Chains A and B, each alone.
Chain A
């Protein structure tokens, strides 16, 4: 069974992306891999206090992402009756999704057009446009 990787976050377009992916998955007999990347870089500058509590913070971020993002998104896949997998991971969103797609031998990448980090995207460009530029498989950007 082939896999489609869907990037999800807290935005409305993310919901549209998952709905679209589920629809395609039903037709093509695909497995849906829902991925949420928590923005993180190994090269940031932190206070000693932040470092001391980093592990708790990471667990907290993963739990919050699971409850607030993954549960409602997985619900859509559940209702559509397609097999799905949930991945929550830290990293740079575009690169991490590309790595994951490669590792799962995905045939397609689907993301919403606008993510939930408005200002950052306005300055540095959106995750969607990076994926379109760098992916080696077809990318669908859902409005």
Chain B
């Protein structure tokens, strides 16, 4: 059995277990999606609709209005947010949205936006905990994330044993998520787009996609094994510009079709509540919307908590407020732009949309306006994929480090496995890759959200306490001091 066949079988088996579904009418409802939605709803209510009340505080924090002068030179809220966002914004925003619309119709967009708004509360909770329970090492570096708050937070509640079990489970799942959604899915869809702009299916690269995967693996390997940090640094600096370029391209497509914009928005609302012409109707659109939104913004999965916990702050709540902006940027802004582009150009209604799926669909919608736009998309996709792969390899390494006491051998084994899957991802079929990626990533939400519920009181005390102190004027803008 070659590695791709082996992977396909494993993917089928895992998907079957993780996406255990109950039948509602003609639609099957995966319980794991319900699990994420309920968490979003719970924390929205539990924290008193902080995503409505809190954005001003979030923006002030990002702008450094509360930053102390003595913290100059440390990791700022802006930097922590930017790093986390660059790990989150990836092919989920481009290809994942296309998958959602090809399966769930325009209405899926509405539910994606809802999921993004609910996800703000979950993200806030998990990133606050990441800072509160992070480890400070002797050299001044910090490690945070669900594995630490599950261990330390639950032990404070007298549930140390359970905390350890959940932390180890989380670490295993995060390694899976790193290999799947953070790696294979990225390399799969980046390969698809490169093939599309270099001659399509029948071309040399079309037949030998693994070559592109191998190049990705070599570049990622140069950073994570070879320690060539300059590649990572350059990527981090270029990605924000690519994001702007991508959004600009979307806006051009929208302006080109501006007269159809009201109709496109109408289709989103109509599809969301009538589910016409979609397998599974409204529920189908809802499930696929929530699922793809969660995959894209990672709220409830705990991954971003690792990146956010590096911030310099004495108030864990501050990073909660800042992290809340992440699902907003990722889902409410970027995913919605992709969705509108696909809907307004009408490509989602093409007869071959089911086989197309993913990034090819987004690319086609770009092509309707300017024939060379897919090349711009290819450049953006490759950079997004690469930066997301670097971020997730880091998450995977932190999980490995947690489980094996920062053993260099274990981390190196992880790195090699990660790179092998980069290549497999480029050669495997989208359906299998996306199923495996979803399974691995969604598994993270099980131990993570159990932890969030157990620590719900701690979360509310920190977040609402901070909010109250800002409102009462006890916490003021920092004075400009040198």
Contact = CB atoms under 8 A, between A and B. Distances in A.
B141 to A, nearest CB: 5
B232 interface: yes
B330 to A, nearest CB: 16
Interface string B129-146: 000000000011111000
A42 B64 contact: yes
Contacts of B481: 103
B140 A45 contact: no
B146 to A, nearest CB: 15
B140 A46 contact: no
A40 B72 contact: yes
A59 interface: yes
Contact of A54 (B64, B310, B391): B310
Interface in B239-285: 239-240
A52 B482 CA distance: 25
Contact of A100 (B64, B74, B482): B482
B329 to A, nearest CB: 14
A58 to B, nearest CB: 4
B80 interface: yes
B236 A47 contact: yes
B192 interface: no
Contacts of B73: 38, 40, 54, 58, 61-62, 89-90
Interface string B305-316: 011001110000
Contacts of B7: none
- Tell me if A's interface is mostly helix, strand, loop or mixed: helix
B306 A50 contact: no
Contacts of A44: 79
Contacts of A48: 83, 87, 306-307, 310, 391, 394-395
A56 B139 contact: yes
A45 B79 contact: yes
Nearest to B139: A56
B482 A42 contact: no
A47 B390 contact: yes
A103 to B, nearest CB: 6
B79 A103 contact: no
B141 A89 contact: no
A45 B82 contact: yes
B307 A51 contact: yes
A62 B140 CA distance: 14
A53 B232 CA distance: 15
B362 interface: no
B482 A89 contact: yes
Nearest to A56: B140
B232 A55 contact: no
A49 interface: yes
B147 to A, nearest CB: 15
Given A42-B64, A45-B236, A51 B229 contact: no
A49 B79 contact: no
Contacts of B229: 47, 49-50
A43 interface: yes
Interface string A62-74: 1000000000000
8 shortest interchain CB distances as A-B pairs: A90-B73, A51-B310, A55-B140, A42-B76, A58-B73, A90-B72, A100-B482, A48-B394
18 contacts: A40-B72, A40-B73, A43-B76, A45-B79, A45-B237, A47-B229, A47-B390, A48-B87, A49-B232, A54-B73, A55-B74, A58-B73, A61-B73, A87-B482, A89-B72, A89-B482, A91-B72, A91-B482
Given A42-B67, A43-B79, 14 more contacts: A45-B79, A45-B83, A45-B86, A46-B233, A48-B306, A48-B310, A49-B394, A52-B310, A53-B141, A55-B74, A56-B141, A89-B482, A91-B72, A103-B481
Interface of A: 38, 40, 42-56, 58-59, 61-62, 87, 89-91, 96, 99-100, 103
